[in-house]
Structure 1
Amino acid sequence: MANGESAPTTGAAERAPDPVRSELTAVVVYARGAVCTRRATVALPVPGGAPGDPSGNASGNPSAGGTVQVRVGGLPPTLNAGSLRGSVRSGPPGLRVADVRVDVTATLRRGEQAPGLRLDLEDAEDRLARLRDRRDRLAAEIGEVAGFRAEPPPQRRGDPPRWAPVESILALAGFVDTRLAALHTRLRTTEDELAQAEHDADVLRHRIDEASGALPTDRVEPSAHAVVTLVADGAAPGAEVPNAPGGQEPAWPEQGPAEAELELEYHVPGATWTPSYQLRLDGRSGAATLVLRAGVVQRTGEDWTGVRLGLSTADLLRRTSLPELRSLRIGRSQPAPAGPGWRESPPGLDELFTGYDSARLTEPEPAPGGAIPGGGPAGPPPFGPLAGGYGAAAEATAAVGYGAAPELAEHTAGFGAPPAPGAPPLPPPAPGAPPLPAPAAALPAPAAPRHAARRSVTAAMADTAGAEAARPAPAPELLDYARLVLAGPQEHDGRGTLRAADEDTDAVVAEYRGRAEAAAELPLPAHAVDVRRSAGSFDYRFDTAAPVDVAADGRRHTVPVGDIPVRTAFEYVCVPAQDTAVFGTVLVTNTSAHPLLAGPADVMVDGDFVRTAALPTLAPGQRQAVGLGVAESVQVARRAHMRESTAGLRGGTTVLDHTVEVEVANRLPYPALVEVRERIPTSADKDVRIEEHRAEPRWSDPGAPLDGQEETYVPGARVWRVTLEPGRTATLTGGFEIRLPVGKSVVGGNRRN
């Protein structure tokens, strides 16, 4: 298994083999993005045959210990090249994937090869441009004609007044009116045609935007191929290798080309999903069926047809590796780790390129006419200046030798290295300029003693150890190991070290990725909750029971996932002191082994659609109430009575006696469990006593928040729970007394309803 970045396109001298057709078999949709799995069957060449023969889709000689390169097509242009993985599912023993890279190409369609919608849009835009030009010309002509005026010639001083040609002026006015009427008629017609042309162009643009991402809609069609390198370097342990005697390397069968099944896995943006449900209830028995559905949105550039779909609540871009715990020691300062698997460049890295630098500096470069002026190099090398000058660096390197390299570290630290502290950076000389003179103080003596070199090495090690505690933290791009490349000796700075590869994304591919990422920002439906928020700290994956189809058009597609076992119970709730309306609820208990995410649920009772309710997140075994709205077939009426009297010695206590009667009627064709909620007052005053009457039937104190939510806890709440047969009526009675000293009253009045 291997991965890599985009591979360069095949040169013209070497013809790339035709790509192998692949089939999308499985997709796992995460909270953002998806992981797709493709399979392809490739025919491998016969051992000893010519490269690329006879399969037509592989190049190389796949004999024992050899390699073969295969191009697999069908990949979308929006895939993340760093996420591409490859493996061999079946094939000759010992066959494995050594490398897999992405090759993105673009094809320009011409003429009739362009898609139909694109051609229609281009024709509509051309017609729109012609109509706009015609409208502008008509408007300009109308302005010119409207400016026609009869202007008499200038009159000289002393001449008598001239005769005015009234007939000519009237003729000119008639011509202007006639011409303007004709031009305005043509302008109105052109504006009507222009409005219709703009509408047609907008409709075509809308159709192109809503078209599937797998259908070509542009003249430039990007295509991605996976360049897979296969290696046959040994058989798997315990496998029987055909035509391989004991102790020999495995060889593939000679009867004909062998076949291998490859599996490619890659990540694509532009996909998301939200759960939804359909709750089917039987009003008489209370049995229920809960169907989990998923609203999948994807514009990944490929249609998902007949794929095994998985739905995960995990974040695909979040790191899931375990943290590395540091050990703390008392008595010695511990430098903070720079990052997992990261470390600074080793000391003396620039000295590895001393020979390369001296060879490049001493090598003469021909002048434009072929001569070398002055017998020296024609110009500076293309990889940056040295601190001591170009000409002096080679001389100093040859004189001192490699053994004294540490002494030259502060003077010749390598190309692209920063100058000494406090010294201004030296600008590179212009091309063709003579070599820079070397400062005398910048070069050491040719005969440097060995012990001085050892002292320099010791000092350098001490400086390195002292700087260990203050080493800088790596940049974030250096922690993305899949995109790191090794800088060569010709680099200006950082040669011999790893650096992040430059993003070389094609403009067309970037546009496709932008469309894909915009599809994930589609607004959520009513009562829908983002899966990352509803799942909390845990992640779960749901798999569809059958293969599904999802088009890459950026719309929300409802996909059935499967049935979920639940247990339900009908219950009708009423708070008559606030409202006499009775609300139907269904208590849903999750009896499955996996959680249920929050989302909208279409409730159907006896085959009739009731409403769309919000189903909360349910853990395995958890129970929650789902509201069904007002139940008109269950009616409640409430009557309250209050009698005020005095009691105690000399009538020093006021007694407020409250009696409550609630009448409940069931008009349903099946029994109904009705919960009636009442409340008795509570007081923290020691002079006020509240005595509760005996209720009939007996009511109870819930002692816990109603509906299982902390914000619904009501002090002094009382609950009646009665089961009524069809067509029956029940009367519920209860009450309480409030005893308070004479001269005091209840805030708001003693009378209570």
Structure 2
Amino acid sequence: MKSEESEGTQRWASALDAVVVYAQGALCSRVARGTVPPDGRVRVAGLPRSMDPDSLRAKVAGGDGVRVTEVRVEVDAEPAAAGTADALRREMERLREVSAAAQARRDRHEALIAEVAALRPVPPARKRDDPHRITPVDAWLRLADFVDERLTNLHRRLAELEEELRLAEHEFSIALDRWNRASTDAGPAHVDTTVCAVLTLEGSGDVELELEYGVPGAVWVPAYRLAHRQGDDSGTLVLRASVAQRTGEDWTGVRVALATADLRRRTDLPRLRSLRVGRRQTAPAPSGWREPPAGLADLFSGYDAAGPRPETGRPWAAGAGAAPVASAGPVAPPPPPPMYGMPPAAPMAAPGAAPAAFGGALPAAPQPVGAAPSGRPAARARSASLAPAAPGRAAPPPPGQAPVTAGPPRPSDAELDYAALVLNGPDVQADTRGRLFPHTPFDPVAVEYRRRAETVSALPLPGHAVRPRESAGSFDHRFDAAARADIPSDGTWHTVTVTEMPVGLRTEYLCVPALEQTTYATLVLSNATDQALLAGPVEVTVDDEFLLTAALPTLPPGGVRRMGLGPAEGIRVTRRTNLRESTSGLRGSTTVLDHQVHVELANRLARPVTVEVHEQVPVTSHAEVRIEERADWTTPPQDAGPDSLAPGTRVWRVDLPAGGSTALDGGYEIRVPAAKAIVGGNRRS
């Protein structure tokens, strides 16, 4: 059922055009076209229930001289038409009943088996003077044969019932999974709730409207595909994204953009507090209270002179977008919440006291006998209801009410949350119009939709995947997809191809023979574009053949990083060490530990390669310990990047031809005082 006002408002169809997926949540853009009606009021339907009503924005994308003067959110409820989700639900419920019936049949059969198995021959009771009777053996045997035959048949039937139950439970689990994985774009059974944007336009002619709103329940992680050919110094990197959304609407044929920014980032500014030295003093909290402006009641005189609004027959709950409430007549407005900047209404007025008007002069609290007046103006005193008091003693506050303090009203934390305050319109009580009140959730159904949408943030990530906020660091990036995409609202991962970009690369080989005598293949990637490459899984293809899936590190614009590809069996490495210990100096006062390192490399590949060999030289901060190197290795730069090497690392870079080999010799001497020794012993490789 719709109100008369909504029935008379022109409805425009809309289509989802673009979506920007952030690290958490998404910003959707919907387009509607039509001709501005004479009254300028338009309803645009199709918005999801999980949307944030405070994020709705509207603008005119096409139309000269037309502008949007008002936009608000309303919810409509209509009988739902049978669809795919409804059919899946009915099938799931039918199979649930079939499974429950099979379970009941199996349970009844087990009970029957227990009854038959409990059959035992019971001899008649013998009186005290009766002699012992001889039990006929044939009767015992016939009973035992009957029980055995009956149990054999019952167990055979039980096996059939258990197989039927297993199949029924299997079919029910499949139907339940299909129903759970179905798109959440479908509303609840029997009722379709549609969120509409009610706009007021000023102007005339054909116009194109663009509505923008935020929704929770959308996440994404980057993924890549790297293709290159051996011997080339460049490759092609295809940026893809795994996107999951449960916003309540299917994204069909939309322009997708991916951003690493936080849609709900903080906007409050830091505030430095003073440092007090001496006796502790509690810093006064800002009251946030202001005198109401003069002439506030006259602001709505024209609205009151127009008379009451026509009765629609279906009152709405307070708050924009609230669900309709069935009622036979007008509903009295609920008591207003505590107003920002003014004291809450007292639960019970004192005898003989006049009710206090919001924003007007507040009556002073009754003074107990023997107490002096506070001397503060009545307009700045806080009203309270006091019980009769004994002479000379102030009355205690009512139960559940804070003690009365003199001075201006002090609002609560909720009333000081300026971002959550809303301005009351002309349709509320006359003494609360035009004032700020704390905003509370108005639609519990929409809250449940948003809670259900947030469950996608707990999805397990694909292999090697990293959250965008973790890999982007302190910078924000945006990636626009080259083509439109379809992403259903089922809460599972879907792959979207974003763009293709060239990258510079070269193949190098790395070995650390002191730890492992194995050579590893690596790709040195360089990003020459103006967009960052975030960390994530990359599928490497060499000469049109899939090689492996590796973890791509974060690569900023202009950055160079190394990515491992696994062991290279075609390059062999061998390492041998020799240690000689001797003394030198006057009377042998210095111990000399001469370490010699011999590394052999052999290239069994059909192409030349570049191998980087890492060795470790001890480092010391002791003044009496000296280290002297004897090798042609180089010292890498000590930077603070993620690929920085440990202090003491030395590097050999060797170019090996196809089928070639080479030998590398190096070493170092450690000179320590003879009276000292290295922890763990001097003799080590």
Q: Is the 8 A contact 1:88 1:97 kept in 2?
A: no
Q: Which residue of 2 aligns with 1:242?
A: none
- Residue by residue over 1:3-42, the C-alpha shift from the partner in whole angstroms, topping out at 9 and shown as x without a partner, is xxxxxx7337974668432111100001111111111112
Q: Is the 8 A contact 1:268 1:300 kept in 2?
A: yes
- Whole-Å Cα distance in 1 between the matches of residues 96 and 22 of structure 2? 40
Secondary structure of 2:225's aligned partner: strand
Q: Which residue of 1 aligns with 2:65?
A: 93
- Whole-Å Cα distance in 1 between the matches of residues 468 and 59 of structure 2? 31
* Compared CA separation, residues 33 and 350, structure 1 to 2 (3 A): closer
Secondary structure of 1:626's aligned partner: strand
Q: Which residue of 2 aligns with 1:410?
A: 365
Q: Which residue of 2 aligns with 1:498?
A: 436
Q: Is the 8 A contact 1:86 1:97 kept in 2?
A: no
Q: Which residue of 1 aligns with 2:664?
A: 732
Q: What count of residue pairs does the alignment treat as equivalent?
A: 611
Secondary structure of 1:320's aligned partner: coil
What residue ranges of structure 1 are gaps of 5+ in the alignment? 1-8, 46-61, 235-251, 253-257, 353-380, 428-462
Q: Which residue of 2 aligns with 1:670?
A: 607
- Whole-Å Cα distance in 2 between the matches of residues 504 and 624 of structure 1? 51
Q: Which residue of 2 aligns with 1:660?
A: 597
**Amino acid in the other structure paired with 1:633:** G
- Whole-Å Cα distance in 1 between the matches of residues 413 and 230 of structure 2? 64
- Residue by residue over 1:675-696, the C-alpha shift from the partner in whole angstroms, topping out at 9 and shown as x without a partner, is 2223344555666554433x4x
Match of 1:193 among 164, 167, 179: 164
| 1:585-624 alignment runs, 5 A limit | 585-624=522-561
* Compared CA separation, residues 135 and 644, structure 1 to 2 (3 A): closer
- Residue by residue over 1:284-323, the C-alpha shift from the partner in whole angstroms, topping out at 9 and shown as x without a partner, is 1332222222111111122212211111111112233666
- Whole-Å Cα distance in 1 between the matches of residues 246 and 601 of structure 2? 55
- Whole-Å Cα distance in 1 between the matches of residues 450 and 518 of structure 2? 53
- Whole-Å Cα distance in 2 between the matches of residues 532 and 521 of structure 1? 15
Q: Is the 8 A contact 1:81 1:102 kept in 2?
A: no
- Residue by residue over 1:183-204, the C-alpha shift from the partner in whole angstroms, topping out at 9 and shown as x without a partner, is 4433332222122211111111
| 1:209-358 alignment runs, 5 A limit | 209-215=180-186, 219-232=189-202, 252=204, 258-320=205-267, 337=286, 343-344=289-290, 346=292
Match of 1:584 among 521, 532, 539: 521
**What is the Cα deviation at residue 273 of structure 1?**
0.6
- Residue by residue over 1:493-526, the C-alpha shift from the partner in whole angstroms, topping out at 9 and shown as x without a partner, is 989853334433354x455433321122111223
Q: Which residue of 2 aligns with 1:364?
A: none
- Whole-Å Cα distance in 1 between the matches of residues 415 and 471 of structure 2? 30
**Amino acid in the other structure paired with 2:385:** P
Q: Which residue of 1 aligns with 2:177?
A: 206
Instruction: Report which of the two structures shows the higher radius of gyration computed on alpha carbons.
Output: 1
TM-score of the superposed pair, with normalisation by structure 2: 0.76
* Compared CA separation, residues 517 and 175, structure 1 to 2 (3 A): same
- 1:29 corresponds to 2:21: yes
**What is the Cα deviation at residue 124 of structure 1?**
0.7
Q: Is the 8 A contact 2:627 2:668 kept in 1?
A: yes
**Amino acid in the other structure paired with 1:83:** S
Q: Which residue of 1 aligns with 2:309?
A: none
**What is the Cα deviation at residue 607 of structure 1?**
3.0
Match of 1:479 among 413, 418, 424: 418
**What is the Cα deviation at residue 95 of structure 1?**
3.7
- Whole-Å Cα distance in 2 between the matches of residues 499 and 122 of structure 1? 46
What residue ranges of structure 2 are gaps of 5+ in the alignment? 276-281, 299-332, 336-345, 367-377, 388-393
Q: Which residue of 1 aligns with 2:317?
A: none
- Whole-Å Cα distance in 1 between the matches of residues 441 and 587 of structure 2? 96
- Whole-Å Cα distance in 1 between the matches of residues 482 and 19 of structure 2? 14
Match of 1:714 among 643, 647, 651: 647
Q: Is the 8 A contact 1:664 1:730 kept in 2?
A: yes
Q: Is the 8 A contact 2:9 2:41 kept in 1?
A: no
**What is the Cα deviation at residue 266 of structure 1?**
1.2
- Whole-Å Cα distance in 2 between the matches of residues 738 and 180 of structure 1? 87
**Amino acid in the other structure paired with 2:418:** L
- Whole-Å Cα distance in 1 between the matches of residues 182 and 668 of structure 2? 69
* Compared CA separation, residues 598 and 223, structure 1 to 2 (3 A): same
Q: Is the 8 A contact 1:595 1:619 kept in 2?
A: yes
TM-score of the superposed pair, with normalisation by structure 1: 0.70
**Amino acid in the other structure paired with 2:548:** R
- Whole-Å Cα distance in 1 between the matches of residues 384 and 297 of structure 2? 15
Which of 717-726 and 260-269 deviates more? 717-726
- Whole-Å Cα distance in 2 between the matches of residues 622 and 530 of structure 1? 20
Percent identity between the two aligned chains: 44
- 1:78 corresponds to 2:50: yes
- Whole-Å Cα distance in 2 between the matches of residues 41 and 327 of structure 1? 56
* Compared CA separation, residues 100 and 13, structure 1 to 2 (3 A): closer
Match of 2:472 among 519, 525, 535: 535
Secondary structure of 1:115's aligned partner: helix
* Compared CA separation, residues 407 and 536, structure 1 to 2 (3 A): closer
* Compared CA separation, residues 90 and 182, structure 1 to 2 (3 A): same
Q: Which residue of 2 aligns with 1:374?
A: none
Match of 1:11 among 3, 26, 32: 3
Secondary structure of 2:75's aligned partner: strand
- Residue by residue over 1:336-381, the C-alpha shift from the partner in whole angstroms, topping out at 9 and shown as x without a partner, is 546xxx64564999999xxxxxxxxxxxxxxxxxxxxxxxxxxxx9
Secondary structure of 1:78's aligned partner: coil
**Amino acid in the other structure paired with 2:384:** P
Secondary structure of 1:137's aligned partner: helix
**Amino acid in the other structure paired with 1:718:** R
Q: Which residue of 2 aligns with 1:57?
A: none
Q: Is the 8 A contact 1:83 1:266 kept in 2?
A: yes
* Compared CA separation, residues 142 and 406, structure 1 to 2 (3 A): same
- Whole-Å Cα distance in 2 between the matches of residues 205 and 472 of structure 1? 50
Q: Which residue of 1 aligns with 2:321?
A: none
Q: Is the 8 A contact 1:590 1:620 kept in 2?
A: yes
Q: Is the 8 A contact 1:485 1:500 kept in 2?
A: no
Match of 2:99 among 104, 109, 128: 128
- Whole-Å Cα distance in 2 between the matches of residues 679 and 149 of structure 1? 85
Q: Which residue of 2 aligns with 1:704?
A: 638
Which of 281-290 and 552-561 deviates more? 281-290
| 1:47-86 alignment runs, 5 A limit | 62=38, 67-86=39-58
- Whole-Å Cα distance in 2 between the matches of residues 682 and 382 of structure 1? 77
* Compared CA separation, residues 181 and 485, structure 1 to 2 (3 A): farther
- Whole-Å Cα distance in 1 between the matches of residues 397 and 412 of structure 2? 25
Match of 2:493 among 556, 566, 571: 556
